[in-house]
Amino acid sequence: MDQMKRFAVYYAPRPGPFATATADWLGWDPVTGETRVQPDLPGIPCPAILTAEARRYGFHGTIRAPFRLAPGVTLAEAAGTVAALARRLPPVQCQGLHLENLHGFLALTPKGCEAALLELGAAVVEGTNPLRAALTEDEIARRRPDQLSPRQRELLDLWGYPQVMEEFRFHLTLTDRLPDPAPVLQVLGPYFAPVLPTPFVIQDLCLFGEDSGGRFHLLHRHALTG
């Protein structure tokens, strides 16, 4: 595997029907590093077009958004930091997952665990902050700071990403932004319904890396045991 250019801490499902269905839908398995044949679903003639950007990341829920390692920080040190956090933090159990339209893209969102998710997200962002390099001017510009609230701009400066701490909203992306999400939502509901976990539990912190082609790979999985 070639040199990774960015790293992130994600939720990713453990092996099973849920992991298989989501990897098939996006057409990319970040665990094996292999492309998958996307399902032939009625009403969706070309799922590859709907998932082009989401496919690069693989199915995941962001806990710490992608960042470059600070000078002198190694992958082994990053993995050690994430492992230490996982030993300290408990799993998060939610009632389940709900498929919804989030401002034009479709995602699965958890129910019944908002406070615990905020605590997990804040702890991981704070604990991994020493690993990340300072943002470049281009990286700041990509976050469109002129469109952020004053608090989001403050969070960007402090933690390298604007949707953290109280602004954190955990979700599992399934599509790119769509001009009309409703027909796709109607098809994906029955496709995912048989495999959605109940309860939905975040059991691990997963360290992902982005390769030179922009695809993300699962590098290390650390069970939450706090």
Q: Is residue 24 part of a domain?
A: yes
Number of domains in the chain: 1
Burial class (CB in 10 A: 0-12, 13-18, 19+), 141: exposed
Q: Is residue 1 part of a domain?
A: no
* pLDDT value of position 1: 46
Measured between alpha carbons, how far is 194 from 162 in angstroms, rounded to an integer?
35
CATH of the domain at 99: 3.90.1140.10
pTM, two decimal places: 0.95
Whether 24 and 57 have beta carbons less than 8 Å apart is answered as no
Positive or negative torsion for Cα 175, 180, 181, 186: negative
**Bridge partner residues of 44 (DSSP):** 41
* pLDDT value of position 2: 52
* pLDDT value of position 188: 96
Q: Is residue 113 part of a domain?
A: yes
- Supply the DSSP symbol for 91: P
Task: Take residue 119 and report the two structure tokens written for it.
Answer: 């605590």
Q: Is residue 125 part of a domain?
A: yes
Q: Which domain holds residue 96?
A: 6-223
Q: Is residue 182 part of a domain?
A: yes
Q: Is residue 117 part of a domain?
A: yes
Q: Is residue 79 part of a domain?
A: yes
* pLDDT value of position 146: 87
Tens of each residue's pLDDT in the chain, 226 residues: 458 999 999 999 999 999 999 999 999 999 999 999 999 999 888 899 999 999 999 999 999 999 999 999 999 999 999 999 999 999 999 999 999 999 999 999 999 999 999 999 999 999 999 999 999 999 999 899 889 999 999 999 999 999 999 999 999 999 999 999 999 999 999 999 999 999 999 999 999 999 999 999 999 999 999 9
